[in-house]
Structure 1
Amino acid sequence: MNLGRFVRATAAVQPGAEAVVAGESRLTYAQLDEASDRLAAALMDRHGLVRGDVVAVLGWNCAELVITEVALYKAGLVRAPINARLGVSEVHDVLADAGVKVLIADVDHIDLVRSALASVTVDTVITIGGASDLGISFVDALASVERRAVDVECSEADTAVLHFTSGSTGKLKAAVHTYGNRLALIRKSLMHPDGYVGPGGREILAGPITHASGMPMMGVFRAGGCVIVMRTWDPIEFLKTVEREKATHAFVVPTMINMILAVPDVGRFDLSTLKHLIYGGAPMSPARIRAAWKHLGPVLTQGFGCAETTSVVMLLSTDDHRRAIEDGDEELLLSCGRAIFDAEVRVVDEAGAQVAPGEIGELAVRGPDIAHGYHNEEALTAETFRGGWFHSGDLARYREDGYIFIVDRKKDMIISGGYNIYSVEVEAALLQHPGIFDAAVIGVPDEEWGEAVKAVVVPHPGVILDEVEVIEFCAARLSRLKKPRSVDVVSSLPVNQNGKTDRRAIRERFWTADGRRVA
């Protein structure tokens, strides 16, 4: 098998059709096929890569990242995407842990790359947007070889992507996506009418295509549609793009919908071509869902998935939204949907047995798109992937008709604006503050971000803490996304029966009145 064949097949039947729009760049299928062939050949012939070698990518959304993904599939290589908002130490950790041979990065991140490479070595750096002292430019890499049709035979068990995300200790971990997992993702995107983007269809990918927002891309290419890649997020630019490009689909996180709804007179934009606005990755209140339905049209679809599932495993379809909003099944707005196609979803007890409808248990998933484990993390793999099931750490209940309702998380992960943030990482920064004796970090409801990071801190005796100063202290040690948005100062933190800080008790008073705990 080779996933790059899907682009080649579409290019054969509609070579002049538009495949990619990214700012000023526009690629037909013929151009995408040729550019990805050239990059694949350059990586193999000029830089000596062979099937299974690892290539890392780091940069803002652009056409070159799309070309790179297709090229790596064609060459049977492993892609290690790096979040463009990570810091030097985190980029270093990815490069070292993945054993990266080639790094493809944009010039905006070249200083970050230079700092990371001071303590880890990669064989080759290719820069998007021009040459640098670290390596050749992307354009020169493509021009360095004659085009040939690269088509390396892969097995379904071969690793395709090392999908890095924060772990429960704050350490980056990588879910291992095989070529079989990625094939299942493509197949699923072709099967559901809400996600199918065929000839004439045009889907906006609004978030980082290195991660979740890029998941639909190969399915679109297989079906013959067009992907429209936004370099960075801006709500007004998104609305203009829908209007200008006549987009039929879009993939966003709820924070983006919140920002769209905040645009004055959003109705002045022509959104009539939009058929499906697919959202997921963070909580979204029923009130905001209703507002989006009213102002953006009857186009909402919610997907539920994570790094370990490769693709969406549950869907609350546009018809489900209509049933909830227009036909009176209001509880559905609290649901993340039902399992779709070959994904199996259960709510289980500690022994792995399915609980009864309405009872709370842990969400477990299995299917051909589920990762088999984590890279270089045997203990975590054994803990999380048990008996053929991925145990998500989400606590849930289900209705007899199969709709799943997430009610809490066993892990202390916060999802803010679609990004995963772990409490322990923020707590570690807080405990470096000379005036803080103890700290707990939780996610609290936020209409814009889904969840916001809140720090609950205990000062040393006699110390008076200033909220703004504490936030600035954290901002100097963490990425902007991870710093607390608010700080509560208390005399003590509650503890559980084991003497450990009881984050659930702290969290409860903030979530009790919200109705919906987690998307």
Structure 2
Amino acid sequence: MESPEVPILRALKDHAQAGQSLAVLEHGKAETVELSYSDLRSNVQAISASIRALLSKKSDALPRHVAFFVHPSAAYVVTELSIWAADGVCVPLSVHSPVPELEYFVKDSESCLCLSDASGAPKMKEVAGKLSRPFAEIAKATESSKAYRLLVDGGPVSPAEQPGCFSCFCGLFSSRSDVLSQNALILYTSGTTGQPKGVVHTFNSLTAQMRSLSEAWKWSSKDRTLHVLPLHHIHGVQNILNTALFNGAAVELTAFDAAFCLKRLASGDITCFHAVPTVYVKFTQYLDSLPADARQAICSGLRNDSMRYMVSGSAALPVPTMKSWAEISGHVLLERYGMTEIGMALSNRVAGTRYPGCVGWPLPGVEVKQDQEGGILVKGAAVFKEYYKRQEATAKEFTEDGFFRTGDNAARGGSVEECQAMQDDAREVEASTGRPRADTTTAPEPALAAIYRILGRTSVDIIKSGGYKISGLEIESVLLQHDKIRECAVVGKPDETWGEKVTAVCVLQSGAALTIKELREWGKERMASYKVPQELEIVTELPRNQMGKLEKKKILQRYGAK
């Protein structure tokens, strides 16, 4: 009798047998690689057998964790699915990590096997050598082939023989009867509160995330997405890649290049696109550099009827960015809220009004509430299992009734006047698209009483100054309306008198100059006096991580904050 199947692998099998065509299209520098679902299935059959052979020789002291250092590509997709098909646990690593970081991740996750593609081989092979782990490289069988193979010391790995009950799909059924509750994926946090921790997701939590997003964002086999995000983050690996494959959709993988990506988005081929605010800013800057006729051609293309939605996530979306992109593309960006530990928890709606500055309502299967301080608490099948080998840290982040403490503060709903303002803001952005909705109702919709607005991380975005609790994100959204400010971060600078001083760290527009006196006079006309920055620092750039998130802790460290 066959044991339970891994849902995403079952989906792969079904899509291949149904004749679903394109699965992955990799836009590489030297070549384009195109895999159908049948091609992908064949590769997973072969590579999983080779991984099984390598895992059969592992030390009994180490779990079946496989660390892989593979750039976003068809090879990445084959690697991830093959590890699962071989009853392994995926530990995807950042392709930007130096050797010491990689060594930490492999050691901390207790990975028993290290894999990489050719470009990552020098680093990963060094790490494997230092930690006495076996190393293998994934590569195409021939330059023109669609088949991949694993190489050890330049030679192919001999595949392990599969038990008879697996012959129908060569290892795509797990031999574990409790497969759904078993560990599947370990993603590392950014380490803003100490050393990075391994966030453990099971097949249950991953499947719950994919099903929730499939329902909320209406994914189907007709979708085709352009993928430009890193694949060691929840946004890139789960929201886009795995959810697309789960639904039989097509994924185009490419390194971010504004010109190329805009060309694809304007082609009419792409139905949904996920990015971070920085990507939309770079799109805008690129378009502004073009001659008027070339710019207009792209903007017209972006208004095609094929594009269902565009997402902005992983960092706060400034309202000016949302509005400018609406004017350029004819699309109102869809904001959502989530994190490594919970997948996605809140989202604006695909069909319906999207509200600037808001991250929407709980997604299907997700329960959200707030603590007395306004902190967001999340519960549901999509929530992670644990921080790997950190029982105390895990227990600390859960309430007695099983809710995960996200560390983010939010406001929910608002007064009648505040809801009216949200409605007005939404209509203003919609009007910027040039194709607002036909609905002319002016009264706020009842659901606004329960919509969420993120105020920021408890530790870095919430400023306590002179007895007030202030949202740095809220002030940033106002400052970005200043015609001299291009980017900004608002933090609480330690101060003996105020506790923390509201401090604006700004990148100015080219050739602009700004004083704190000018900023305060301007700010007092737009926000409460206690929210107006007390200090101003002008910088050439703000510290950001790979996902475009502001690294405010680095700013605070300069001010001596702990």
TM category, shorter = 0.7 to 0.9
Q: Alignment partner of 1:259: what SS?
A: helix
1:348 deviation in Å? Answer: 0.7
> Counterpart of 2:375?
362
Structure 1: tracts of 5 or more residues without a match: 325-331, 350-359, 416-439, 449-466, 494-500, 504-519
For normalisation by structure 2, the TM-score amounts to 0.67
**Could you say if the C-alpha distance between residues 143 and 445 of structure 1 is closer, same or farther in structure 2, counting changes exceeding 3 Å?**
farther
Q: Alignment partner of 2:231: what SS?
A: coil
Q: Alignment partner of 2:450: what SS?
A: coil
Is 2:366 the counterpart of 1:383? Answer: no
Alignment deviations for residues 193-224 of structure 1 (CA, whole Å, 9 cap, x no partner): xx333233101121012322121323222322
Q: How does 1:119-130 map to 2 (within 5 A)?
A: 119-128=130-139
Checking the alignment, whether the CA contact within 8 Å between 2:460 and 2:553 is kept in structure 1 is no
Q: Could you tell me which amino acid in structure 2 is paired with residue 28 of structure 1? A: S
**Could you say if the C-alpha distance between residues 404 and 489 of structure 1 is closer, same or farther in structure 2, counting changes exceeding 3 Å?**
closer
Q: Could you tell me which amino acid in structure 2 is paired with residue 19 of structure 1? A: A
**Could you say if the C-alpha distance between residues 139 and 66 of structure 1 is closer, same or farther in structure 2, counting changes exceeding 3 Å?**
farther
Q: Alignment partner of 1:219: what SS?
A: helix
> Counterpart of 2:205?
181
Checking the alignment, whether the CA contact within 8 Å between 1:127 and 1:137 is kept in structure 2 is no
Checking the alignment, whether the CA contact within 8 Å between 1:395 and 1:408 is kept in structure 2 is yes
Q: Alignment partner of 2:114: what SS?
A: strand
Checking the alignment, whether the CA contact within 8 Å between 1:314 and 1:340 is kept in structure 2 is yes
Equivalent residues, number: 427
Checking the alignment, whether the CA contact within 8 Å between 2:228 and 2:253 is kept in structure 1 is yes
Q: Could you tell me which amino acid in structure 2 is paired with residue 107 of structure 1? A: A
> Counterpart of 1:62?
73
1:229 to 239, 253, 274: 253
Q: Could you tell me which amino acid in structure 2 is paired with residue 283 of structure 1? A: A
Q: How does 1:460-471 map to 2 (within 5 A)?
A: none
Q: Could you tell me which amino acid in structure 2 is paired with residue 30 of structure 1? A: S
**Could you say if the C-alpha distance between residues 313 and 487 of structure 1 is closer, same or farther in structure 2, counting changes exceeding 3 Å?**
closer
> Counterpart of 2:43?
35
Q: Could you tell me which amino acid in structure 2 is paired with residue 213 of structure 1? A: G
Structure exhibiting the larger radius of gyration computed from Cα positions: 2
Q: How does 1:479-518 map to 2 (within 5 A)?
A: none
Q: Could you tell me which amino acid in structure 2 is paired with residue 399 of structure 1? A: G
Alignment deviations for residues 422-444 of structure 1 (CA, whole Å, 9 cap, x no partner): xxxxxxxxxxxxxxxxxx9x995
> Counterpart of 2:90?
79
1:245 deviation in Å? Answer: 7.2
Distance 1:444 1:268 in 2: 36
Q: Could you tell me which amino acid in structure 2 is paired with residue 37 of structure 1? A: Q
1:121 deviation in Å? Answer: 2.3
Q: How does 1:195-214 map to 2 (within 5 A)?
A: 195-211=217-233, 212-214=235-237
2:23 to 1, 11, 19: 19
**Could you say if the C-alpha distance between residues 333 and 49 of structure 1 is closer, same or farther in structure 2, counting changes exceeding 3 Å?**
farther
Distance 1:445 1:90 in 2: 30
Q: Alignment partner of 2:180: what SS?
A: coil
2:170 to 108, 130, 149: 149
Alignment deviations for residues 396-454 of structure 1 (CA, whole Å, 9 cap, x no partner): 12116221111131234899xxxxxxxxxxxxxxxxxxxxxxxx9x9957799xxxxxx
Is 2:307 the counterpart of 1:289? Answer: no
1:9 to 5, 14, 19: 14
Q: Alignment partner of 1:26: what SS?
A: strand
Q: Alignment partner of 2:219: what SS?
A: coil
Checking the alignment, whether the CA contact within 8 Å between 1:60 and 1:106 is kept in structure 2 is yes
Q: Alignment partner of 2:364: what SS?
A: coil
Q: Could you tell me which amino acid in structure 1 is paired with residue 205 of structure 2? A: N
Distance 1:242 1:343 in 2: 31
Distance 1:489 1:170 in 2: 15
What's the C-alpha RMSD, in Å, of the aligned pairs? 4.1
Alignment deviations for residues 2-31 of structure 1 (CA, whole Å, 9 cap, x no partner): 13111001111125x111111201011100
For normalisation by structure 1, the TM-score amounts to 0.72
1:38 deviation in Å? Answer: 0.9
1:111 to 122, 147, 170: 122
**Could you say if the C-alpha distance between residues 347 and 488 of structure 1 is closer, same or farther in structure 2, counting changes exceeding 3 Å?**
closer
1:336 to 359, 363, 366: 359
Q: Alignment partner of 1:189: what SS?
A: helix
Distance 1:83 1:122 in 2: 19
Q: Percent identity?
A: 18
Is 2:371 the counterpart of 1:348? Answer: yes
Distance 1:280 1:446 in 2: 22
> Counterpart of 2:457?
409
Distance 1:251 1:286 in 2: 17
Distance 1:341 1:482 in 2: 26
